[in-house]
Structures are given as C-alpha cells and as structure tokens.
Structure 1
Amino acid sequence: MSVVSLLGVNVLNNPAKFTDKYDLEITFECLEPLEKDLEWKLTYVGSATSDQYDQELDSLLVGPIPVGVNKFIFEADAPDTKRIPDADVLGVTVVLLTCAYDGREFVRVGYYVNNEYESEELAADPPAKPIIEKIRRNVLADKPRVTRFAIKWDSEATAPAEFPPEQPEADAQPDDEEYGADELAEEDGEDAAVDTEANGEASAAAAVGGDAEMGGIDEAAEPAEEDEMSEDGSVDLENESEDELEEEEGEGEAVEEGDDAMEVDDKPATDGKAAQQVMAH
C-alpha cells in the first residue's frame, strides 16, 4: 500500500492565456512519517512526434510531511514557445504532473490541453507564425489520466515484491496428480482397444482363408493411395473377379508401346483388397 495517496488536483486559473502561469491546488494524504521530501514536477509536452521538445515547467520539494491530509499550491511558469515547433503550438497537447519520493516516481497525472485563438477570425485562418499573446489554453481538468506505481518508501516492508511468492505446496504435489495424468491414461486405454480390435480382425481373416497380410500393421504402415478416376469412369474393385483382373492384365501386355499408349497398373490384386480393408477401418 502507498504511504502517500493523491486525493485531488484543482486547476485554479482555467481557462487562461497561453503565457499565464499554471496554478495547481494539490491535496494528498500521508499515512506515516517520511524521512525525505516529496518532489513534484510539471512537464509540458511540446510535440507529439518527439520527446526532445518536452519542457519541465517547474519542480518543487515539499517537506517535512506531517501525517494526515495536506494541501498546497503549485505554481509553474508557462512553456517557452521558442522551444516548441510552430506547427505544434496550436491544437491539443499534454501536461504531466508527477510526484516522486527519494527519486522513485509513485504517481503521474496527465491532462489534455487545448491551445486555440481567442478570436474566430484567427481560428478560421491562423497565420503561419503563431501569435502567442492571442492564444488561449484550456486544461481538461475533469478528465485526468492517473497512473500509480508501487515503490519502496522508508522501510523494506513497503518494498514491492520483485518475484512471485513461493508455492511450496505445489512442489510437494505427488507425481500421479500432475495435470493431464487422467487424459494420458484414457489415451493409453484407447490405444490398447485399437490394438485388440486390429488383432481380432487379423485372426478372422486367417480363419476364412484370406490373405494374412491384410491385417498386418507393418504392411499397412504406408497410407494407401486413392485410385485415380479414368476417362471412362471409376473402377469398382469389389465387383471384379480375379479372372477379370487377370484378363485385363493380359490385354495390357498386348498393347503396343508408343506415345499414345496407356499405362498399365501391374500391382497384384491383393494390393487393391488390402487398400479396401484399410479404408474401411
């Protein structure tokens, strides 16, 4: 928990001329005595394209800090227009109010600031060279962006944790309770069921006098290629008898070689039956 909490910031002179000072009424609460002072800073963002145009308008050391609610007025000079690009003088920019303790920033408040000409004529047709004395600023004080940081104060007990807390109960957890153990057991059971089914099919094929290689895992390790459809239509291997297959092989041998000769599939018939059985499973 932070020892110092920012309760509110009130922009006293708003809207104001671009060249007027910034007057901020800051209220904060201190929960315990502090050994060092608080350092407050107000920074003006001169350009959205580069931080080299940022200007520290003023800084202030506040201390010693009594315990309880505290309030003070922070005055800061207007930004130096010579350090701001002409194209970035008008429009929307940002001012940042920060506070640090012992060089460690613990709170940052950002406000949008709109810079525009007071007269409608200049606003409608702004000159190339900005006329600074006719520009008015308006701080959007009702929409601040507050960011807080956990820091170490005077005691080590207030230092934020650098590493996640240790979990000795997680290290003492038995191995059989590791995440995913039940899922691995289920997968092992499914693999055993598949092996049993494959062995049963191989035994049935051998009992009816079929080819024993059909049920073998080693022979079916490579994926079966699908038969390509010819111009005359698809080939139905189930309705073709072994005699018809042998007759087609004989006709294939009689075809003369040439540029328009058809390629003959010289795979044995058992390969087609094995492919059918693999696809069926």
Structure 2
Amino acid sequence: MSIVSLTGIEVLNNPAKFTDPYEFQITFECLEPLKEDLEWKLTYVGSSDSLDHDQELDSILVGPVPVGVNSFLFTADAPSPELIPASELVSVTVIILSCSYNDREFVRVGYYVNNEYDTEELRENPPAKVQVDHVVRNILAEKPRVTRFNIVWDNEGAADEYPPEQQEEEEEEDDEEEQDEEEGEEVDEEDEEEEEDDLEVDLDDEEMVEEVSTLNDKEQNATPPATASSEVVEEVDTPKDS
C-alpha cells in the first residue's frame, strides 16, 4: 500500500515556447506521517536513441509533509537545446515527472511533447539550422501515462521494495490412461496472474521512447496519436480549461 498517492497534475503553461519554463500544479494525498521529504524530479528525454541526451531539468524536496491532501507548484527550466541532437529538437519527445522517497521512486508520470515551429512557413520549409526561438512545445497534458512502484516506507521494516514478480504457471494434466480413452487429447490449464492491487505497473521509459522514435520516423512534425493514449496505465486528474 502506498502512503503517498498522486491525485492530480495540472500543466499550467501549455502550449508554450520551447525556452519557457515548465510549470505543474501537483496534488497528492499522504495517509501517514513521513519522516523524510519527498523528492520530485522532471526529466527531458533529448533523444529516442540514447539516454546520454536526457536532461534533469530540476529536482526539489517537499516536506515536512502533513497527513492529508497537499498541493504545490513545481517549476523547472527548459532544457538546454545545445545538449539535444539537432535532428531531434523539432520532433516528438517525452518528459518524465517522478517522485521518490528515501531515494526510492514510487511514481512516474510520462507526457508526450510535440516540438514544432510557430509559423506555417517554417513548418513547411524548416531551416538548415534550428531556430530555437521559433520552436513551440505542446504537452499532451490530457493523457499522462502513470507507472507506480511499491517501495519500503517508514513503518514497513524489511518489506519488498518492489512488487514480487508475478510468474505464469502452466499446469499440464497429462494422464496417459485418460488420454488413451479420450484419443490422446491434452488439457492445458493456465493460471491467470493475480494483481496485488488495482494499480498496474505496465509502462517504462523505454516503451515511451520507442514509441516516440516510431512517430518521428513516420513524420518529422507529428503530433502524438490517439492510439498512444489508449495504452494509459492510469490517469491522474487533469483539469480542463474553462
């Protein structure tokens, strides 16, 4: 059971210029007193081909955390364009917002981000050298992809840090005498995996990055398709504009 549950994220400045800071209004619930602070971190995936271009935009400690519902504003500077391959500056990428307790990550939220030029002329005839001042970003804020991990909290002793691996078991009933009578028919039974709770852990960074790479291969300035959002593990509340 998670002591801290992420209940809502609002992306405040979206769309925005590539160089504008990121702003998130984060809401979470704490069920028990915590001895340590929570660490929130925002990472920009600079390339779908290598982790070497990932940039940690900012990380902050939030605490002491009172029991109940808490909310705060998380801001982070834009990524450094010179650290991103020129071929991937104007394309689809991913940002990852994560939270850890005692250096143990327990929630990760991934957003697709589409970077494109702000004029039709530049989109149709992109310059040889990327003009960062004319690049705008659009975060797919309505469809975050959330992954949760079980970790050791303050009062759980030596409990497992992560969910025990669920193994599929195949039970083969192979009674030769009965099979002779039933003309050698085999019966295979597969046990269904049991979920430990209603929060599935299904998405990892590599899966999102692979999808981004596929999108960029198909279209230079593609926008994240609806099919990607259909694979959402779990959605946190994202307030819509009035």
Q: TM-score, normalised by structure 2?
A: 0.68
Do the aligned residues in 2 keep the contact of 1:151 with 1:158 (CA within 8 Å)?
no
Hey, what's the Cα distance between the residues in 2 that align with 1:35 and 1:131? 47
Matched, 1:150 2:150: yes
Q: Offset at 1:156?
A: 2.2
Map 1:86-105 → 2, pairs under 5 A: 86-105=86-105
Residue 73 of structure 1 corresponds to which residue in structure 2?
73
Residue 12 of structure 1 corresponds to which residue in structure 2?
12
Hey, what's the Cα distance between the residues in 2 that align with 1:96 and 1:62? 18
Hey, what's the Cα distance between the residues in 1 that align with 2:181 and 2:125? 81
The one-letter code matched in structure 1 to 2:49 is T
Hey, what's the Cα distance between the residues in 1 that align with 2:179 and 2:88? 66
Residue 129 of structure 1 corresponds to which residue in structure 2?
129
Residue 85 of structure 2 corresponds to which residue in structure 1?
85
| CA separation of 1:37 and 1:127: change in aligned 2, threshold 3 A | same
Residue 35 of structure 1 corresponds to which residue in structure 2?
35
Hey, what's the Cα distance between the residues in 2 that align with 1:70 and 1:51? 33
The one-letter code matched in structure 1 to 2:52 is Q
After the TM superposition, list the runs of 4 or more consecutive aligned residues in structure 1 that deviate by more than 3 angstroms: 160-164, 184-190
Deviations 1:39-65 (A, max 9, x none): 000000001111100000000000111
Q: Offset at 1:159?
A: 2.7
Deviations 1:37-94 (A, max 9, x none): 1000000000111110000000000011100000000000000011011111001000
Whose strand fraction is larger, Structure 1's or Structure 2's? Answer: 2
Helix, strand or coil at the partner of 2:123 = helix
Do the aligned residues in 1 keep the contact of 2:149 with 2:163 (CA within 8 Å)?
no
Hey, what's the Cα distance between the residues in 1 that align with 2:3 and 2:163? 19
Residue 55 of structure 2 corresponds to which residue in structure 1?
55
Do the aligned residues in 1 keep the contact of 2:150 with 2:163 (CA within 8 Å)?
no
Residue 46 of structure 2 corresponds to which residue in structure 1?
46
Deviations 1:229-269 (A, max 9, x none): xxxxxxxxxxxxxxxxxxxxxxxxxxxxxxxxxxxxxxxxx
| CA separation of 1:29 and 1:158: change in aligned 2, threshold 3 A | farther
Residue 205 of structure 2 corresponds to which residue in structure 1?
none
Q: Offset at 1:157?
A: 5.8
Q: Offset at 1:128?
A: 1.2
Helix, strand or coil at the partner of 2:25 = strand
Q: Root-mean-square deviation (CA), in Å? A: 2.4
| CA separation of 1:124 and 1:152: change in aligned 2, threshold 3 A | same
Helix, strand or coil at the partner of 2:152 = coil
Q: Offset at 1:155?
A: 1.6
Q: Offset at 1:180?
A: 4.9
- Structure 1 unmatched runs, 5+: 165-178, 191-281
Helix, strand or coil at the partner of 1:52 = helix
Hey, what's the Cα distance between the residues in 1 that align with 2:181 and 2:121? 84
Hey, what's the Cα distance between the residues in 1 that align with 2:139 and 2:88? 16
Q: Offset at 1:187?
A: 6.6
Hey, what's the Cα distance between the residues in 1 that align with 2:132 and 2:103? 35
